[in-house]
Structure 1
Amino acid sequence: MYDRYQGLIFDMDGTILDTEPTHRKAWHEVLARYGMKFDETAIVSLNGSPTWRIAQAIIASHQTDLDPYYLAAEKTRAVEEMLLDSVRPLPLVEVVKSYHGRRPMAVGTGSEHRMAERLLRHLGLFQCFDVIVGADDVQRHKPEPDTFLRCAELINVAPENCVVFEDADFGIQAAIRANMAVVDVRKL
């Protein structure tokens, strides 16, 4: 189905791995420590963003002066404690497995590189990918194209010959800005 593309690039959270419930639970847990609530509907528009950017939006909505990087680090620690036991692959993993060894493939995620690698190893998927580009590997994040452009560069495939699989508006915008084809997995 995707044979016309020379390179396949996958977002991770919500696209190939069902990590969203754990991320939400971690946000609720961490924010409760500060007497704040996690408004899931308000944060949906930030899906695909690095954790510090989501923390920044939460802090602004609560009109408090916490450090977004500190809050993001707390949330990341909370996720790490619970994620390995709760994460599950999503159906798109079948596409990953069917193209493994046939096309260069990358993960371009808003999660930190270390966390992405750890999750993919835990689920036995790490070896399917030639490259992982995490939020800490680029300076500009989705909706900017940098994550996906870096993926294409590292798998040595021109952007216009890549397809990106995404579940978030910011990621879809990033793929379009990178001049790549995009599959909105929410519509599969």
Structure 2
Amino acid sequence: MVDILIGEDVIRDVNLMIFDKDGTLMELYHYWSQMVAMRAKIITERLKLNDILLDGLMYEMGVDTKVGRLRQGGPVGLKKREIVMQSAVDYLERNGYKDTYGLCYEVFAEVDKLSLTMFGKLLKPINGALPLLDALHKKGCKVAIATTDRRERARLAMDFLGFGDKIDLIVGADDVKKPKPDPEIAHIILNNLKVDPLSAVIVGDAETDVLVGINAGLKASIGVLTGFASFDDFKKITSFVAEDVSRIGVSG
């Protein structure tokens, strides 16, 4: 058991820390803006779309290039891959390009494969992520990842960043039937690691992450300000908010 420190707050007797991946342990916009751009570029080339439709396609998938951030409601980075892909299909259909599901499916798979050779460009850890994971691991606290990404892609990303040997379990969108904020993803982790919910804490950059913890009856839910939600967003649902994971300490 460890104690988790956030400013003057202390969360005592914690046996498991559950982390979201994108926006919590690794930079959100840096990763997903490039992934969406590659998807949109290939689709644009194959359908011979103009630059206006290219920007619109990226926006519908969740990237606002004008302000340089992900859209608050996603879908990319927040919802599962199939929803992001369907948003592209729907946008293309609204603009007169019908029956593009097969094309989008093919392009998404192509970019997935291509991205595996580009982790050095795509992946950037959040400040303090490795020291926190290392401290938890050394003190015997279990660590899990609950992500809207696919489990295998998440595992490869965590290994590339040097986090893999400090993580006990990764559960992805392909492991659950119900997306966040449904507590299913937390229940899978708790059951697999045999941890009582009242000794588990979740950390995430989106309100849906915090709500997973609340809905699963976890000991505490911590919001970090490195992704989707603001301080005011989090304060409506949790008393624990940190600037980033570097502001979370471990003792015990």
State the TM bucket, normalised to the shorter chain: 0.7 to 0.9
Does the alignment pair 1:184 with 2:223? yes
With the length of structure 2 as denominator, give the TM-score of the two structures.
0.66
Kept in 2, the 8 Å contact 1:22–1:79? The answer is: no
CA positional deviation for 1:138: 1.7
> Equivalent of 2:135, from 83, 92, 98?
98
Does residue 15 (structure 1) correspond to residue 24 (structure 2)? The answer is yes
Match of 1:26 in 2: 35
Structure 2 letter corresponding to 1:159? P
Match of 2:237 in 1: none
Partner of 1:4: helix, strand, or coil? Answer: strand
Q: Which segments of 5 or more consecutive residues in structure 2 lack a partner in the other structure?
A: 6-10, 45-53, 65-69, 226-241, 244-252
C-alpha deviation, 1:54, in angstroms: 1.7
Q: In terms of mean alpha carbon deviation, does 4-13 or 32-41 score higher? A: 32-41
Moved over 4 A (4+): 68-71
> Alignment RMSD, CA only?
2.3
Q: Which structure carries more strand by proportion?
A: 2
Aligned pair count reads 188
The one-character-per-residue Cα deviations of 1:164-188 (angstroms, maximum 9, x if unpaired) are 1101232222222222221111142
Aligned position for 1:108 = 146
Identity among equivalent pairs (%): 21
1:172 aligns with 2:214: no
* Secondary structure, counterpart of 1:164 in structure 2: strand
Q: How does 1:77-156 map to 2 (within 5 A)?
A: 77-93=113-129, 94-101=131-138, 102-156=140-194
Letter in 2 for 1:83: F
Please state how far the C-alpha of 1:62 moved relative to its aligned partner: 3.9
In the alignment, structure 1 residue 51 sits paired with structure 2 residue 81: yes
Q: Does the 8 Å CA contact 1:51/1:72 hold for their aligned counterparts?
A: no
Per-residue deviation, residues 45-84 of structure 1 (Å, max 9, x unmatched): 1333222222223333443543265454344234323224
2:173–2:179 CA contact under 8 A, matched in 1: yes
Counterpart residue type for residue 66 of structure 1:
T
Mark the runs of 5 or more structure 1 residues left unpaired by the alignment.
none
Q: Secondary structure at the match of 2:118?
A: helix
State the structure with more CA Rg: 2
